[in-house]
Amino acid sequence: MTTLSKEIKATQQRFGIIGKSPLFTTAIEQALKVATVDLSVLIIGESGSGKEVFPKIIHENSKRRHEKYMAVNCGAIPAGTINSELFGHEKGSFTGAISDHKGYFEDCNGGTLFLDEVAELPLETQALLLRVLESGEYMRVGSSDVRKTDVRIVAATNKNLESAIKEGKFREDLYYRLCSVRIDVPPLRKRGDDIWLLIRKFSHDFSERYRTPEVEYTDEAKAAMLSYRWPGNVRQLKNVAEQIALFEAGKVLEKESVTTYIPQASGLVSKSDAEFDYKREREYIFKLIFKLQADVMSLQESLKNQQLPSQEVSTSLVGDSYIHDVEIIKRPTKIAAPQHLASKEEHNIIDISNNDDATATEVDTAYAQVDAPHVKTLEETERETITRALDRNSGKRKKTAEELNISERTLYRKIKAYGLESRNQHKE
């Protein structure tokens, strides 16, 4: 076991692999073991999890390491030409076939062929691939001559092949031929502290490449990075880490700053994958509500202080929506109560057309005399939203703050302001 650990460490250094999690090192160990035997290998893992490095490990540690290694993305080749690309074609076999063409199986004879996204292969091509795996035989498109090849197949996919088999989209016999050995590459969210190791690696590499000061993270910022789901896995993590290294160079990053670089409410780890989409939408709606409340209150304050122009306001941004050509209507020269409230002498009519001394208070008072149906204030709406969230989370402040996408400090302040201490039973 000690020898194997050294071998794994040497492999990681050779291929630039970062990670110490048991699930990830187990996958490397399996790749090293299967490399010495000439079996087909199926690699399963989410997009961006690093599947593409494992065929290279297998090839470089096999007896075929001095022969050709080729990687083919099956999902990137049109269905009409995939057979020609894999097996070759004869001159004149179809329109545009102006000469004989070698396919990947012929060109890679003696080496290792990596078929990425193998689940995207058409059923016809799957049948031809099965024949190659079973007998090493194939035919070029437009030819009746049987050719032989000696190619080791390593396939990979991010799809659930068992489900694809049930749906009739993937051949069961081909699955078992490809899956002589199966290697499961864990998603980044299951690799624990590997996330932090990768962040430091990517940040350091970026700083060295562009000669910028490195970024430091607070414990809260680090925890936020570790708790994120990372649906794009290592690929997404690298993008985020490099963005932070660019725009926050030399700074000590707080949690609030980190969250601006992470897609909000789209990747937080949930209790179950089933509730993930719902939670994402709910958190986004709550965030938008609070943002709209803040914007409306700001507009009300500006209007009260007569800080806005009287004609119109150019395009303004509220949350993710645009309000175009908002027109601020001038106060009418005469303000009157509705007919059902006016007396015979019409004493409720206030004439300010020629009264320069008329104040905004007088006008507002006149408006206040008009009966109108009760509309909930922003404060009432906010209090009701917080109350319901506290009830759903059994008064737990931390969970409530996460649901509303606000800080615990802000939530505590609002709980105290609205007199909701009785609902805040569990302080976390």
Domain ranges of the chain: 2-186, 189-259, 378-423
Q: By mean pLDDT, which of 43-47, 122-126, 400-404 is the weakest?
A: 400-404
Q: Which CATH architecture has domain 189-259?
A: Orthogonal Bundle (1.10)
Q: Model-level pTM?
A: 0.61
If we measure between CA atoms, which residue out of 161, 162, 54, 74 comes closest to residue 117? 74
Q: 26-60 burial, b for 16+ CB within 10 Å, e for fewer?
A: ebbbbbbebbeeeebbbbbbbebbbbbbbbbbbbe
pLDDT band at 231 (very low <50, low <70, confident <90, very high): very high
Q: What's the rounded mean pLDDT across residues 381-402?
A: 84
Rg (CA), the chain: 33
The rounded distance, in Å, linking the Cα atoms of 51 and 377 is 54
- CATH assignment, 378-423: 1.10.10
Q: For residue 181, name the pLDDT band (cuts at 50, 70, 90).
A: very high
Mean pLDDT of 136-141: 95
Q: Quote the tokens at residue 64.
A: 């075929």
**Among 3.20.20.80, 3.40.50.10210, 3.40.50.2300, 3.40.50.300, what is the CATH number of 2-186?**
3.40.50.300
The band of 283, judged by pLDDT with boundaries at 50, 70 and 90, is: low
pLDDT at 61: 96
Residue with tokens 């190659």: 132
pLDDT of residue 284 exceeding 80, the answer is no
